[in-house]
Homo-oligomer: A and B are copies of this chain.
Amino acid sequence: MAPARVRAAGETYNKVNFAAPRSFTAALKSDVKETLFPDDPFHDFKGKPLPVKAKKALKYFVPIFEWLPKYSRKLFMHDLLAGITIASLAIPQGISYAKLANIPPLIGLYSSFVPPLIYSVFGSSKHIAVGTVAASSIIIAATIETKVNPAVNPQLYLNLVFTSTLISGVTQLILGVFRLGILVDFLSHSTITGFMGGTATLICLQQLKGILGLKHFTTHTDMVSVIRAIFKNRKEIRWESTVVGVIFLVFLQFTRFVKQKKPKLFWVSAIGPMVVVTSGCVFAYLAHAEKHGIAIVGHLRKGINPSSLKNLDFDPKYISAPIQAGLITAVIALAEGIAIGRSFAIMENEQIDGNKEMIAFGLMNIVGSVTSCYLTTGPFSKTAVNYNAGCKTQMTNVVMSMCMMLTLFFLAPLFSYTPLVALSAIIMSAMLGLIEYDKAYHLYKTDKFDFIICMVAFFGVAFISMDVGLMLSVGLALLRALLYVARPQSSKLGNISDTNLYRDVEQYPGAIGIPKTLILQLGSPIYFANSGYLRERILRWVRDEKANKASQGDDVEYVLLDLGGVTSIDITGVETLVEICRSLEVKEIKVVIVNPRLEVMEKLTVTHFIDKIGKERVFLSIEDAIEGCKFSLTHPKDFGSEKC
Contact = CB atoms under 8 A, between A and B. Distances in A.
Interface of A: 14, 17, 19, 24, 28, 31, 34-35, 38-40, 43, 181-182, 184-190, 346, 349, 351, 354, 442-443, 445-450, 477-478, 481-489, 491, 496, 499-501, 503-504, 506-508, 523-525, 527-533, 536-537, 539-540, 543-544, 564-568, 570-572, 575, 579, 582-583, 586-587, 595, 597-599, 601, 603, 606-607, 620-621
B448 A346 contact: no
| Binding site secondary structure of chain A | helix
Given A34-B537, A481-B485, A485-B525, 7 more contacts: A24-B448, A38-B487, A39-B540, A43-B544, A185-B530, A188-B529, A523-B523
Contacts of A599: 489
A249 B606 CA distance: 38
A17 B504 CA distance: 11
A187 B34 CA distance: 27
B354 A532 contact: yes
Contact of A499 (B14, B186, B477): B14
Nearest to A601: B507
A525 B570 CA distance: 18
A575 B189 contact: yes
A597 B489 contact: yes
Contacts of A478: 482
A181 B487 CA distance: 12
Nearest to A345: B583
A114 to B, nearest CB: 30
Contacts of A182: 486, 533
A487 B43 contact: no
Contacts of A496: 14, 620
Contacts of A35: 483, 486-487
A198 to B, nearest CB: 18
A43 B547 CA distance: 11
B570 A527 contact: no
Contacts of A525: 484-485, 524
Given A446-B607, A491-B597, A597-B491, A533 B38 contact: yes
11 contacts: A28-B448, A34-B487, A35-B486, A349-B582, A442-B571, A477-B529, A484-B485, A485-B485, A485-B524, A489-B599, A524-B524
Copies of this chain present in the complex amount to 2
Contacts of A185: 486, 528-533
B528 A190 contact: yes
A525 B496 CA distance: 25
Contact of A528 (B186, B489, B532, B566): B186
A190 B570 CA distance: 10
Q: Which of A28, A449, A503, A531 gathers the greatest number of chain B CB atoms within 10 Å? A: A503
Contacts of A181: 532
A572 B450 CA distance: 9
B486 A527 contact: no
A524 B567 contact: yes
A597 B484 contact: no
**Which 9 interchain pairs have the tightest Cβ spacing?**
A565-B565, A188-B528, A349-B586, A523-B567, A489-B567, A507-B598, A39-B536, A38-B536, A484-B525
Contacts of A351: 539, 583
Contact of A603 (B447, B486, B500): B447
B499 A446 contact: no
B571 A447 contact: yes
A605 to B, nearest CB: 10
A449 B27 CA distance: 11
A570 B476 CA distance: 14
B583 A349 contact: yes
A595 B503 contact: yes
Nearest to A31: B487
A577 to B, nearest CB: 13
A568 B484 contact: yes
B582 A528 contact: no
Given A482-B478, A607-B446, A523 B566 contact: yes
Contact of A447 (B349, B570, B595): B570
Q: Which of A34, A354, A450, A575 gathers the greatest number of chain B CB atoms within 10 Å? A: A34
B543 A43 contact: yes
Contacts of A572: 188-190
B346 A565 contact: no
Nearest to A338: B532
Nearest to A477: B528
A330 B533 CA distance: 21
A188 B446 CA distance: 34
Contacts of A508: 17
A568 B523 CA distance: 10
A488 B595 CA distance: 18
A500 B500 CA distance: 9
